[in-house]
């Protein structure tokens, strides 16, 4: 094309025309690229023979589906769309025996028309605005590559239905926004609707930002349903949707920005996959989905990491290591680095070592209890009150939940009730504690919880702290008081599947190690099962046992089966009796004791000094590491021959003598009051005390974060 330059206006018009043509062509190309990638993502070669047996071709309906049902969960009509998607995959896959088959095409068209005619509707909005339009969009995209196309009038009617009933993503947050955006993208590609596609692409990636509302938090945790921790469950959903669309958009004008890639990558590498041991996620970060069968197994979530290899090539090796662990090609310990994180926004602590994971989930007046709702997770009440997961293999709690004693959730101190109460509200019920948090230097840390529950006659309080090191976690409780009339108060050290043998090992004070199925009494020095030791340095009324426990999934989740389940369960508990007044406990978890000899040797050498365990101060020293950790529940002072530590406000403190001779202090305010805290430290050998003003004034959303000082 030859352009004359004598007329500037004419030249401008020509260049504008060329630019607009290029833009239109790019949009067309992007539509094609997106459609091809979506089609590839859902391409399958399914065996669909069994689905024909329930199909009535005269009606376009499946005889085993009641299309009038509106169940809140497991909505039966959705099976119709799931089967249709399978048929579309078979019809468009050249390797399938039904590829391009006229009879299958006719069945697909009739089944699509039947769905339009009966217009099923669910009481749970999620099915109407997410599950249904997503499935329809995928089916239509697959069929666009078929030998015959869906009749234009029918396809248009379906697309209109998706638009009118599928919801507006701008009105939602977090994973729900992402899920609605997905079917907007499917529909926009089918319609070649540039406006809606641009809107959906902007909104689908919008949740990838730090927020104080639902979504990714500034401490690298994830919230859904207000301020509830949801690393799994809704965390799964947002990662599924965002990484899925990011792969579709790679190399197009809609591509995920570098800044958002890094937010996503950081969350996945440092939080999400850190809560997965081997193939199994920690039970207490999954929300109400923990009450569904098989949900702890996250093997299929390795696909998120697979996508990140392309999206974030800088960290490709780290994502490959994650995939190898989750696929079983490597051990759960493979490439795991020691880390300790307290998520100050989420009231959650995660302690990771190559050999194990130990976590603590709390709830404060800033966060929400683990929810129940839609008839799911009905026994979850105590699960937010300092619960723990202790895992080495990953599957220690896999499908234990119907047979669990939900009044003895690991880590909690609570009345041993026969009937578990429901929280006042099913969704978004805030906690009551004003003092819940932790201090961390990224390797070690301390977590604390001022537990006080007056709901539904529970009437129990305790000061609880966990102190984390390499080889042990020290667990202290003080001020345990209750006027509950119904049940004794118990602290559960653990309750997990007895899936690694039928014997436990224990030793009484000054006694040799013994194997058996139970140990009980005030003179039990330590208990061990599956190589995890539990030492009782100050005694206590211990009960450890392996026994069969039975229950049903239906009892905790009314959408699940009623068939009775039975598991062999290991548990170890400290019984504080009825109506304790200012009782205490102390136990040390040694995750890698491994053998009776090593556990006995550990107990003998006193690596831990419990310095104080009162309602005012809980403090320990790890003598091998030169680390002191202390929780001040009120202004107070602790003093011995090695250290004098004073705080003028409640706080959590960690002092460490470094190998180079320097002394480092880390401080956090579990109450997040945003006030100055004055701390004085004098270690043996120091000429005078070091006094530090730890000023948390104006820290805002970082009020619970740790501050570091060199003394």
Enumerate domains of the chain plus CATH numbers.
30-258 (1.50.10.100), 340-710 (2.70.98.10)
- Please give the pLDDT value at position 73: 86
- Please give the pLDDT value at position 532: 98
- Please give the pLDDT value at position 7: 58
pLDDT tens, 117-143? 999 999 999 999 999 999 999 999 999
pLDDT tens, 369-385? 999 999 999 999 999 99
Q: Closest by alpha carbon to 113, among 95, 136, 90, 96?
A: 136
Q: Which residues contact 56 (CB under 8 A, 6 or more apart)?
A: 62, 63
Q: What does each C-alpha distance from 162 to 21, 89, 178, 248 come to in angstroms?
A: 30, 20, 16, 21
Contact between residue 55 and residue 79 where contact means Cβ atoms under 8 Å apart: no
Helix, strand, or coil here: 634?
Answer: coil
Tokens of 204: 């689908």
- Please give the pLDDT value at position 480: 98
In which band, very low, low, confident or very high, does the pLDDT at 659 lie, cut at 50, 70 and 90?
confident
Helix, strand, or coil here: 541?
Answer: coil
- Please give the pLDDT value at position 313: 97
- Please give the pLDDT value at position 5: 47
pLDDT tens, 185-209? 999 999 999 999 999 999 999 999 9
Q: Closest by alpha carbon to 370, among 441, 320, 426?
A: 426
Cα dihedral sign for 210, 214, 219, 220?
negative
Q: Report pTM.
A: 0.90
pLDDT tens, 683-700? 998 989 999 999 999 999
Cα dihedral sign for 519, 524, 528, 532?
positive
- Please give the pLDDT value at position 14: 44
Q: Closest by alpha carbon to 99, among 150, 60, 139, 146?
A: 146
- Please give the pLDDT value at position 22: 46
Give exposure, 634-667, as e/b (b: 16+ Cβ within 10 Å): eebebeeeebbbbbbbbbbbbbbbeeeeebebbb
- Please give the pLDDT value at position 24: 43
In which band, very low, low, confident or very high, does the pLDDT at 10 lie, cut at 50, 70 and 90?
low
Q: Closest by alpha carbon to 365, among 282, 452, 281?
A: 452
> Quick one: DSSP state of residue 287?
G
Average pLDDT of the chain to the nearest whole number = 94
Q: Are strands 473-482 and 489-497 parallel, antiparallel or unpaired?
A: unpaired
> Quick one: DSSP state of residue 273?
G
pLDDT greater than 50 at residue 13: no
pLDDT greater than 80 at residue 178: yes
Scanning the structure block, which residue is given the tokens 């400290």?
Answer: 574
Radius of gyration of the chain (CA): 29
* E strand intervals along 225-310: 228-229, 276-277, 280-281
Tokens of 212: 């104080």
- Please give the pLDDT value at position 26: 46
- Please give the pLDDT value at position 20: 45
Q: Which residues does the annotation mark as catalytic?
A: 225, 234, 288
What is the share, in percent, of the chain residues with pLDDT greater than 70? 96
Helix (H) or strand (E) holding 543: strand 542-552
Cα–Cα distance measured from residue 190 to residue 141, given in angstroms and rounded to the nearest whole number: 7
pLDDT tens, 215-247? 999 999 999 999 999 999 999 999 999 999 999
Cα–Cα distance measured from residue 99 to residue 147, given in angstroms and rounded to the nearest whole number: 9
pLDDT greater than 70 at residue 390: yes
Q: Closest by alpha carbon to 622, among 510, 481, 506, 468?
A: 468
Cα–Cα distance measured from residue 337 to residue 621, given in angstroms and rounded to the nearest whole number: 24
Contact between residue 184 and residue 34 where contact means Cβ atoms under 8 Å apart: no
SS percent in the chain: helix, strand, coil, step 5? 30, 30, 40
Query: Residue 657 phi/psi, 5° resolution?
Result: -85, 115
pLDDT greater than 80 at residue 4: no
Contact between residue 455 and residue 467 where contact means Cβ atoms under 8 Å apart: no
pLDDT greater than 90 at residue 173: no
Q: How far is CA 661 from the centre of its chain?
A: 39
Cα dihedral sign for 595, 601, 602, 604?
positive
- Please give the pLDDT value at position 510: 83
- Please give the pLDDT value at position 19: 47
End-to-end CA, the chain: 75
Cα–Cα distance measured from residue 54 to residue 65, given in angstroms and rounded to the nearest whole number: 9
Tokens of 35: 């459609």
Contact between residue 261 and residue 312 where contact means Cβ atoms under 8 Å apart: yes
Cα–Cα distance measured from residue 628 to residue 643, given in angstroms and rounded to the nearest whole number: 9
Q: Closest by alpha carbon to 526, among 514, 518, 534?
A: 534
- Please give the pLDDT value at position 45: 97
Cα–Cα distance measured from residue 344 to residue 704, given in angstroms and rounded to the nearest whole number: 5
Cα–Cα distance measured from residue 92 to residue 39, given in angstroms and rounded to the nearest whole number: 10
Contacts 24+ apart (CB under 8 A), 557-564: 557/291, 557/292, 557/375, 557/376, 557/377, 557/378, 558/375, 558/376, 558/378, 559/71, 559/72, 559/73, 559/74, 559/292, 559/374, 559/375, 559/376, 560/291, 560/292, 560/293, 561/293
- Please give the pLDDT value at position 29: 80
Q: Which residues contact 9 (CB under 8 A, 6 or more apart)?
A: none
Q: Which residues contact 399 (CB under 8 A, 6 or more apart)?
A: 293, 294, 296, 565, 567
- Please give the pLDDT value at position 629: 98
Tokens of 656: 């460490």
Q: What is the mean pLDDT of residues 598-620?
A: 95
pLDDT greater than 60 at residue 23: no
Alpha helices per DSSP H over 268-390: 302-311, 316-326
Q: Higher-confidence residue: 23 or 359?
A: 359
Crossing angle (nearest 10°) for helices 8-41 and 234-249: 130
Q: Closest by alpha carbon to 642, among 614, 622, 667, 616?
A: 622
In which band, very low, low, confident or very high, does the pLDDT at 660 lie, cut at 50, 70 and 90?
confident
Contact between residue 344 and residue 438 where contact means Cβ atoms under 8 Å apart: yes
Give exposure, 683-702, as e/b (b: 16+ Cβ within 10 Å): beeeeeebebebebeebeeb
């Amino acid at each position: 094309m030859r352009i004359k330059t004598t007329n500037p206006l004419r030249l401008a018009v020509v260049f504008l025309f060329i630019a607009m043509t290029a833009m239109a062509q790019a949009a067309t190309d992007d539509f094609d690229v997106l459609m091809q990638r979506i089609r590839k993502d859902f391409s399958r070669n399914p065996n669909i023979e069994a689905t024909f047996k329930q199909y009535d071709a005269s009606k376009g309906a499946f005889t085993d589906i009641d299309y009038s049902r509106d169940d809140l969960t497991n909505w039966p009509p959705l099976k119709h769309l799931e089967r249709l998607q399978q048929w579309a995959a078979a019809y468009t896959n050249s390797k399938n025996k039904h590829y391009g088959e006229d009879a299958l095409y006719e069945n697909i068209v009739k089944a699509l028309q039947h769905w339009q005619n009966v217009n099923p509707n669910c009481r749970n909005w999620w099915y109407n605005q997410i599950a249904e339009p997503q499935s329809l969009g995928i089916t239509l995209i697959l069929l666009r590559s078929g030998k015959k196309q869906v009749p234009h009038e029918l396809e248009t009617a379906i697309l209109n239905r998706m638009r009118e009933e599928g919801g507006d993503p701008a009105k939602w947050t977090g994973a729900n926004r992402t899920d609605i955006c997905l079917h907007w993208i499917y529909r926009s590609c089918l319609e070649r609707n540039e406006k809606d596609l641009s809107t959906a692409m902007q909104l689908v990636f919008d949740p990838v930002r730090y927020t104080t509302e639902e979504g990714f938090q500034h401490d690298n945790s994830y919230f859904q349903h207000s301020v509830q921790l949801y690393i799994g469950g809704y965390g799964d959903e947002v990662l599924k949707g965002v990484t899925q669309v990011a792969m579709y958009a790679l190399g197009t004008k809609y591509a995920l920005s570098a800044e958002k890639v890094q937010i996503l990558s950081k969350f996945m590498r440092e939080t999400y996959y850190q809560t997965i041991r081997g193939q199994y996620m920690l039970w207490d970060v999954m929300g109400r989905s923990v009450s569904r069968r098989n949900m702890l197994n996250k093997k299929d979530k390795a696909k998120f990491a697979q996508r990140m290899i392309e999206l974030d090539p800088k960290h490709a090796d780290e994502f490959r290591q994650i995939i190898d662990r989750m696929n079983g090609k490597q051990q759960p310990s493979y490439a795991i680095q020691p880390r300790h994180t307290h998520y100050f926004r989420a009231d959650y602590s995660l302690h990771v070592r190559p050999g194990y994971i130990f976590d603590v989930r709390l709830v404060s007046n800033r966060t929400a209890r683990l929810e129940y709702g839609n008839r799911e997770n009905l026994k979850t009440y105590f699960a937010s009150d300092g619960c723990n997961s202790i895992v080495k293999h990953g599957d220690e709690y896999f499908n234990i939940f119907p047979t669990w004693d939900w009044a003895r959730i690991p880590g909690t101190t609570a009345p041993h009730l026969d009937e578990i109460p429901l929280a006042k509200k099913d969704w978004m019920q805030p906690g009551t504690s004003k003092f819940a948090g932790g201090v961390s230097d990224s390797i070690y840390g301390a977590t604390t919880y001022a537990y006080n529950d007056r709901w539904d006659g529970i009437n129990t309080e305790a000061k609880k702290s966990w102190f984390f090191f390499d080889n042990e976690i020290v667990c202290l409780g003080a001020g345990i008081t209750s006027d509950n009339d119904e049940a004794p108060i118990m602290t559960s050290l653990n309750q997990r599947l007895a899936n690694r043998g039928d014997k436990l090992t224990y030793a009484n004070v000054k006694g040799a190690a013994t194997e058996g199925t139970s140990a009980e009494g005030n003179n039990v020095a330590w208990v061990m099962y599956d190589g995890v030791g539990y030492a009782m340095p100050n005694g206590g009324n211990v009960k450890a046992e392996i026994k069969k426990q039975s229950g049903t999934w239906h009892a905790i989740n009314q959408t699940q089966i009623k068939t009775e389940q039975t598991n062999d369960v290991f548990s170890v508990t400290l019984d504080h009796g009825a109506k304790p007044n200012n009782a205490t406990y102390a136990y040390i978890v040694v995750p890698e004791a491994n053998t009776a000899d090593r556990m006995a040797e550990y107990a003998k050498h006193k690596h831990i000094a419990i310095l104080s365990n009162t309602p005012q101060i809980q403090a320990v020293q790890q003598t091998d590491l030169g680390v002191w950790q202390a929780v001040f529940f009120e202004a107070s002072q602790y003093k011995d021959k090695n250290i004098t530590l004073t705080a003028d406000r409640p706080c959590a403190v960690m002092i460490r003598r470094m190998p180079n001779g320097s002394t480092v202090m880390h401080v956090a305010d579990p109450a997040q009051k945003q006030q100055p805290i004055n701390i004085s430290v004098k270690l043996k050998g120091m000429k005078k005390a070091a006094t530090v003003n730890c000023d948390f004034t104006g820290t805002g959303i970082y009020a619970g974060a740790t501050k570091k000082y060199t003394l």
